[in-house]
Amino acid sequence: MKIFKQLLIILTFTIIGSLLSYLLSLIHFPFPGSLIGMILLFIFLLIGLVKVDSITEVGQFFIDNMGIFFVPAAIAILKQIEIISLHWWKLLIILFAAFVISFTATYWAVRLTIFLQNRHKNENEPAEVPHD
């Protein structure tokens, strides 16, 4: 019964996200409902209205079986193989550029985080008294 409650919580946020997506599409602002649902669930987890323990097992199941969710996307890509074969070199350039950009951004984000952590650690250390 606990797993059904966890699944119900996650599905509720998914349905709410889909409804909000539909409402946004009426004002010509398309936004994925699944993303809206995840953002709402994240906000509810942050403010404590939903406890992490209340979705742990089902969430872990989804993470463990994430590869299954990529199968429909892979099949959709394979259906467009004719178009992809005409423009493969453009896609390769885009993939390479995206890799370089994301790798560089990650590198600098880690460097900034380490710098800020070291600065914070040094500010919290007591100052040494010089000996005469």
pLDDT of residue 19: 97
pLDDT of residue 130: 58
Copy the structure tokens of residue 7. Answer: 């699944």
Distance CA 90, CA 82 (A): 14
Question: pTM higher than 0.75, yes or no?
Answer: no
Q: For the chain, give me the number of helices (H) and strands (E)?
A: 6, 0
Residue 19 makes CB contacts below 8 A (sequence gap 6+) with: 33
C-beta of residue 20 within 8 angstroms of C-beta of residue 36: yes
Regions of the chain with pLDDT less than 50: none
